[in-house]
Amino acid sequence: MDEKFILTSDGIDKIDDYPESIVIVGAGVIGCEYATIFSNFGKTKVYIIDRQERILPFEDEDISSIVAKRLEKSGVIIHHSASLERMEVIDGGVEYELANEDDTREIIRVKKALLSIGRIPNVENIGLENAGVAMSKRGVHIGDEDTRTNIPNIYAIGDVSGHITLVNMGEIEARHAVEKMFETKPLVPISYDNVCKIMFLTPEVAAVGINEQQCIEKNIPVRVVKIDYSVIARAIAMRKTEGFFKIIVTNDSEMKILGMRAVGEHASSAIQAVGLLIKMNVGIEVLSELVHPHPSIVEGIQECVRMLLNKSIFKSSVFKDKLSCYSLVDGVRTNLERL
């Protein structure tokens, strides 16, 4: 990593011109965001090396699919299920070699390479071991409980804490840690269940709580409702009908919200209320009865919860593949009939 040809996010901000071509190693959020940025400029040929079968592997397949299709439509080449065997600077550019899943190999030359495979906290040689601060089993994060480490007067916040690595999360943790240092009464612990996240992609992706994939992995029985942007009046008016809302609730009469995914225009503005409901641990009736601004994207959220309550004016028999409502129990999907 010379920050001239093989770059990290430190060096990529200092380039003085659009590279003719770039390969991005890593298909997580940051890698896909930089691929979106450079492909949108239209001056750089972009490649992504993805070790998994699909980009954004921690998210549901419908999200990965819609983002991948837009990237490919913008000319991005995604090396799926590929292993990086070699990368080196040659003749003022970068040459990399891939081993593909079918045992074939590729050698490709580009002008720049961006490594986007994560970072580790800079905690070496600061005396943590002398203070007795315990590290996690992964060896890169400080094991803590509500910002406090195993040593009562030492706190850990931000990326080093081993929780959600976001700027807004680090800011909340920092405030909480300072309050705990000087607390005169017990504080409510930080909740990581309702953290709102934005992925600056095309289309925009926003998330809060758990997704379908996590429900299946943890065997959590849930109900899921999904509505396409193409049936939302504001999206139609803006000619921005690519995307969807998906809400996950408990599979019982209370139907408390566990998570939401929004993909499309204004996605990041649509999840805050759902994040609040998750924190309040209440059901979905309040959203169904709230008078939403019209026309607005968030009206789609209201129709989602109305579908779960069987009160929606949207009929699946009319909109067919634009609406879906189903349960997930033991990993088995069962459609829920809606009138």
Which residue in 113, 115, 86, 82 sits closest to 99, CA to CA? Answer: 82
Structural element, H or E, at residue 83: strand 83-90
Q: How does strand 77-79 pair with strand 45-49?
A: parallel
Phi, psi of 203 (to 5 degrees): -75, 165
Any idea what DSSP says for residue 247? E
Is residue 20 helix, strand or coil?
A: coil
Q: DSSP E strands: which ranges in the chain? A: 6-7, 21-25, 45-49, 77-79, 83-90, 93-99, 105-110, 112-115, 144-145, 148-149, 197-199, 205-209, 222-228, 244-250, 257-263, 323-329, 332-335
Residue 259 near residue 304 (C-beta atoms within 8 A)? no
In this structure, the number of other CB atoms found within 10 A of the CB of residue 150 comes to: 14
Q: How does strand 144-145 pair with strand 148-149?
A: antiparallel
> 294 an active-site residue?
yes
Residue 73 near residue 92 (C-beta atoms within 8 A)? no
Of 80, 176, 266, 294, which one is the catalytic site residue?
294
Residue 45, token pair as written in the block: 């040929």
Which residue in 147, 197, 207 sits closest to 175, CA to CA? Answer: 147
Which residue in 263, 210, 240 sits closest to 32, CA to CA? Answer: 263
Strands in 93-99's sheet, in edge-to-edge order, are 83-90, 93-99, 105-110
For residue 145, what are the β-bridge partners?
148
Which residue in 319, 329, 305, 298 sits closest to 212, CA to CA? Answer: 329
Residue 278 near residue 287 (C-beta atoms within 8 A)? no
Catalytic residue numbers, as ranges = 294
